[in-house]
């Protein structure tokens, strides 16, 4: 492959990654993979994290895709994003649309059981204990009302 030739899109796990970026930065384009996870995946695949993704050969891209698919089995339990699934109790690392669907399911379960967090999600208020007197105000709550003369 020539030095000039570069693949601008590299397909990994049903996601088009930017081929002009370094491997460890391009992998963060997959939902569920952050900076730390991407560094771990490049180490598991045996690929230089600072190499440009579009200039890698097909074997290296295949090793990266394989490392992404088998990430859960190769790392300790504390490094995955879902340590104990509510329904099955197994350790999983969710990626892409699986992560989005599971997050929606979790919020819907909280709403259904009428937990405090579920009610906050339902009403569109802050969920994690932030103050709400002055921040997060939308609609007619913003501003000061003047008295009519």
> In the chain, which segments carry CATH 1.10.8.50?
9-77
The pLDDT assigned to 140 comes to 73
Could you give the CA distance from residue 19 to residue 11 in angstroms, rounded to a whole number?
Answer: 9
The fraction of the chain above a pLDDT of 70, given in percent, is 94
Of the pLDDT bands very low, low, confident and very high (cuts 50, 70, 90), residue 76 is very high
- Predicted pLDDT at 4: 64
DSSP for residue 146: P
For the entire predicted model, the pTM comes to 0.80
Per-residue pLDDT averaged across 60-68, rounded? 95
What distance, in Å, lies between the first and last C-alpha atoms of the chain? 78
Section 79-101 average pLDDT: 93
The third-level CATH classification (topology) of the domain covering 9-77 is: Helicase, Ruva Protein; domain 3 (1.10.8)
């Amino acid at each position: 492959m020539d030095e000039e030739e570069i693949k601008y899109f590299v397909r990994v796990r049903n996601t088009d990654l930017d081929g002009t970026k370094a491997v460890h930065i391009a992998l963060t384009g997959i939902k569920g993979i952050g900076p730390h996870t991407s560094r771990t995946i490049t180490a598991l695949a045996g690929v230089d994290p600072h190499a440009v993704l579009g200039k890698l050969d097909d074997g290296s891209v295949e090793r990266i895709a394989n490392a992404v698919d088998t990430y859960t089995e190769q790392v300790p339990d504390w490094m995955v994003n879902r340590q104990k699934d509510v329904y099955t109790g197994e350790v999983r690392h969710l990626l892409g649309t699986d992560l989005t669907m599971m997050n929606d399911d979790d919020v819907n379960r909280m709403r259904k059981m009428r937990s405090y967090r579920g009610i906050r999600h339902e009403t569109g208020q802050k969920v994690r204990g932030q103050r709400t007197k002055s921040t997060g105000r939308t609609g007619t709550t913003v501003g000061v009302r003047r008295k009519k003369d």
